[in-house]
Amino acid sequence: MESLAEDGEQRREVLNGPTTSLGFAEVHKNRNDSAPSCSIYYELHGNPEATQKILFITGFCTTCAAWDHQIEYFAKLGDYQLCVFDNRCCGKTRCTYVNLSTRLFAEDARDLLDHLGWHDSIHLVGLSMGGMIAQELALLDPKRFLSLTLAVTHAGGPMGISPISGWPHLLSYAKARSKDGKLKALLNLNFSKKFVGEHFQPTYDWHAARYWGPHLLSVVGHTLAVMRHYVSTKRLEVLREAHYPVLILTGTEDRNSHMLARFLRADFQVLEGGHMINIERYQEFNELLHTHFVEHFTDDDTLVDPPQQTMAGKKTGVEPEASTASVDSSDGSEAVTVEAVAVEGHCTGDDGIYDFTRVEIFAALPRS
């Protein structure tokens, strides 16, 4: 069992909960590829007897501590047991292998579920790169899941336009030599200017208590995984027609989820904020997740109802139809036109020639 001595005081309070257990799971054993096995660090919180499980997958170079607000909320309800974990080359999951991909991360997560004995009735939640991993995991083993939630993420390819407004903050993080400098760069990268301006010190302290300082191999490996990520339109159709409902969440300053939501015909919520909406808008984020879980469970009476929502977010219609939308970065430095076209028949797509009844083709073009 992992010692808690290296965790900050706030983390120790989370980890010392009465229903918390910690452990390591050996994943990717006896596989016929070059990726080595490794020991995934994980935490279980909530009711171990609960029939419904929640798997939270975190993002780029981020440890499972990023889900602490969700742990505190869902662990108290009694209806769920939840699992958070550190991806390869992150936090307490030690790894020196850098040839990473979201598919490999998804295979690791599947092996973790096998280790836990979680074979069905799972709500799958992924944020940022974790949302990319969740897409791959949902395609890899769909029968396990009751629902899928994708937050501030994209499918890669033409649906994965990285907003250049965040690049200066990422560069500042890479150049910073002190923990203080890196933390300040991360706050500017992950949260809205308004939020950082109004809540700088408590947000800084919250992250300082959880900061692990990713090493170069982690950054390189996770960057490769994000750059390689691509779920084709044909594979997205599989997600769109899956038996489980899909919820997509994003922030007003993080736009990539819009095209993904339209293509998947998913429930779509936009919360005021930046990239890490599970922290910046954690109350609304938690309530939306809870409502999504309850609405799509077969026996709602057995679950605690979520609180009445009084959120600043908005629900948007995402019924696919031919459309053209303009997408700008928050500082106006990027301007593109995104086209979504619904057609019928057959076409040559990224996976070859295939028939379809309704598919959307997206293009991102510089605006003249």
Torsion of CA 117, 119, 106, 68, to 10 degrees: -70
Q: Are 22 and 42 in contact (CB under 8 A)?
A: yes
Domains and CATH numbers, the chain: 9-318 (3.40.50.1820)
Rounded to 10°, the helix 179-190/167-175 angle is 170
176: number of Cβ within 10 Å: 15
Query: Is the pLDDT assigned to residue 342 strictly greater than 50?
Result: no
145-191 pLDDT tens trace: 999 999 999 998 765 655 444 445 455 555 666 777 777 777 777 88
Give the least confident one: 74-78, 104-108, 217-221: 217-221
Query: Is the pLDDT assigned to residue 367 strictly greater than 50?
Result: no
Q: How confident is the model at residue 42 (pLDDT cuts 50, 70, 90)?
A: very high
pLDDT for 293 equals 96
pLDDT for 41 equals 96
Query: Is the pLDDT assigned to residue 226 strictly greater than 80?
Result: yes
Query: Is the pLDDT assigned to residue 358 strictly greater than 60?
Result: no
Query: Is the pLDDT assigned to residue 82 strictly greater than 80?
Result: yes
Q: What is the mean pLDDT of the chain?
A: 77
Please give the Cα distance from 333 to 5 (Å, whole number): 45
Q: Are strands 267-271 and 314-315 parallel, antiparallel or unpaired?
A: antiparallel
In this prediction, residues 241-254 reach a mean pLDDT of 90
| pTM, rounded to two decimals | 0.77
